[in-house]
Homo-oligomer: A and B are copies of this chain.
């Protein structure tokens, strides 16, 4: 009698499709929805531990101890440790890729956009450093662990798109064209962001102010002269 977690397909969409969604207001809480909510609650708990200890040192028991669940329940909602962790990072990064949407929407000038962008980058390092280091940890692990690559590639792509939206908006506000392609822009910003995160975790004074200044100084260089 092997126990198999129901709704364990990726993203847990399958079961939800089976519930009758005839009346838009009816069936507020189908059991499948509750199952999904539980997974999210478990993921949020797990993210605390993962952000503190990293991928390798986070045992399922430690994750469960720092939550309201017991260590066995993990295998009820996830097939194995990897599925839990991939779910967690995907869950977190969902909220991540829209972090700068406000910046893009509200900026009134190129300089304004650059400054708001720099501020947001600094802010997220201060407030969510554990999540960011977890992301870099997982991305590094994906270089060794084949089964992580699909999720990491997808997240990386969505982050690249996020940066592309900023650069495009910046160019539009400046009445110019971007001088570099999206992958380059993403790689660059990701690189200096990673350095700032490292400096911040090392307690290096000025790491965050440097990041802000670097971003503001870099943005104008991303534009082609004026027009073709």
- Name A residues whose Cβ lies closer than 8 Å to a Cβ of B: 52-57, 133, 136-137, 139-144, 149, 152-153, 156, 179-181, 183-184, 186-195, 197-198, 201-202, 210, 214, 217-218, 221
Q: A197 — nearest CB in chain B belongs to which residue?
A: B143
Q: A138 — nearest CB in chain B belongs to which residue?
A: B140
Interface SS majority for chain A: helix
Whole-angstrom distance between the Cβ of A124 and the nearest chain B Cβ: 15
CA distance A63 to B143 in the complex (A): 19
Q: Are A202 and B133 in contact (CB under 8 A)?
A: no
CA distance A180 to B222 in the complex (A): 13
Q: How many copies does the complex hold?
A: 2
CA distance A34 to B217 in the complex (A): 51
Q: Are A156 and B191 in contact (CB under 8 A)?
A: no
Which residue, A152, A194, A210, has most C-beta atoms of chain B within 10 A?
A194
Show 6 residue pairs from A and B whose CB-CB distance is below 8 angstroms, ordered by the A residue.
A137-B144, A143-B197, A156-B198, A181-B214, A184-B217, A187-B195
* CB-defined contacts of A197 to chain B, threshold 8 Å: 143
* CB-defined contacts of A191 to chain B, threshold 8 Å: 186-192, 194
Which residue, A183, A191, A192, A221, has most C-beta atoms of chain B within 10 A?
A191
Closest 8 CB pairs of A and B: A191-B191, A56-B56, A187-B192, A133-B143, A187-B191, A54-B144, A188-B188, A187-B195
CA distance A180 to B156 in the complex (A): 26
Q: Are B143 and A201 in contact (CB under 8 A)?
A: yes
* CB-defined contacts of A202 to chain B, threshold 8 Å: 149, 153
Given contacts A141-B137, A143-B198, whether A188 and B180 have CB atoms under 8 Å apart is no
Q: A187 — nearest CB in chain B belongs to which residue?
A: B192
Whole-angstrom distance between the Cβ of A142 and the nearest chain B Cβ: 8
Q: Are B140 and A136 in contact (CB under 8 A)?
A: yes
